[in-house]
Structure 1
Amino acid sequence: MLTPLIDIIFLLCLFFVLNTSFRQESYIEVNLPESKTSEDTPTMGIILTLYENGSVSINGEEIGWDSVESVLEDEAEKQAGQEIIIQGDENIDYGKIIATLDKVRRAGFELISLQTIRNER
């Protein structure tokens, strides 16, 4: 009488274990701009973050602005065909975003996303 209950509990546990995502989310330390048409896409790829104070990080590791292109070239060799996600603070100068996009393209990336926050209003 207890065996069917144990079987059901085992199957439920197995279901939840197999459907749980163990991906570690990176917490955004920038104020991303809002967009009504923003899509919820997983943050899988190389994350390039542009902070309001002018500093830059790639996958959480802070680097200098002058070395962005060379670090991205190394990442492009390691992870060919990978998407790069740019997280830019909403207060960054537009010219800095364009310069960053230029460096990303010169490093060899073709899949580029600009991350925003969905505004439901």
Structure 2
Amino acid sequence: MAESRRNSRRLRRPMSQINVVPFIDVMLVLLIIFMITAPMLQQGVEVDLPEADAEAMEEDPQAAEPLVVTVDAGGAMSLNQGPYVNEPLAPQEMTEIVREFLAENPGTQTFVRGDRNVDYGRVIDAMVALQRAGGGRVGLITEPPRDNQD
């Protein structure tokens, strides 16, 4: 009888291993969820940029994300930052929003993404609105020519 007690004590010893199977299951479910939702988070305004053989600007890794005004093919203007991201804005309304944004984030670079098919006057309106808001130098965003792409 004493022998059977010793054997039962050996058998009932607590295990010192962690079961990681539930952890792996949870991680795989989260991975699938993130893979499905990540493309949905990347929203933007569809713009067919003009092509230009210009030098690319050097990125400053310490600089804040630039403020970009997008002018789509219909002439609607929208911003990439602030409370009205990717919503159509009137030039006067955009000027006020950009003025407030630049007051909070001085030194932010400003750019205009204009669709190649939009009236040139709408791109100029966007540039003027940025300058009135205190944008200083305003850059234009283009794509490199297709024949020079790798």
The answer to whether TM tops 0.5 is: yes
1:108 aligns with 2:129: no
Match of 2:76 among 15, 35, 55: 55
Moved over 4 A (4+): 25-28, 40-43
Q: 2:102 touches 2:108 (CA, 8 Å); kept in 1?
A: yes
| Residues 47 and 26 of structure 1, relative CA distance in 2, 3 Å threshold | farther
- Identity of counterpart residues, as a percentage? 24
Q: 2:44 touches 2:86 (CA, 8 Å); kept in 1?
A: no
Stretches of structure 2 lacking an aligned partner (at least 5 in a row): 1-41
Aligned-partner Cα distance in 2 for 1:26–1:46 = 16
Alignment partner of 2:116: what SS? coil
2:114 alignment counterpart: 88
Q: 2:111 touches 2:140 (CA, 8 Å); kept in 1?
A: yes
| Residues 79 and 26 of structure 1, relative CA distance in 2, 3 Å threshold | farther
Q: 2:77 touches 2:126 (CA, 8 Å); kept in 1?
A: no
Match of 1:34 among 34, 43, 51: 51
Deviations 1:48-99 (A, max 9, x none): 1111112221114313214111111111111111101211101111111112
Higher helix share: 2
**1:44 deviation in Å?**
3.1
- The one-letter code sitting in structure 2 at the alignment partner of 1:87 is R
With structure 2 as the length reference, what TM-score do the two structures score?
A: 0.57
Aligned residue-pair number: 98
Aligned-partner Cα distance in 2 for 1:61–1:104 = 16
Stretches of structure 1 lacking an aligned partner (at least 5 in a row): 1-24
Q: How does 1:70-81 map to 2 (within 5 A)?
A: 70-81=96-107
- The one-letter code sitting in structure 2 at the alignment partner of 1:105 is Q
Aligned-partner Cα distance in 1 for 2:88–2:103 = 18
- The one-letter code sitting in structure 2 at the alignment partner of 1:71 is I
Q: 1:68 touches 1:103 (CA, 8 Å); kept in 2?
A: yes
- Could you say which structure has the larger radius of gyration? 2
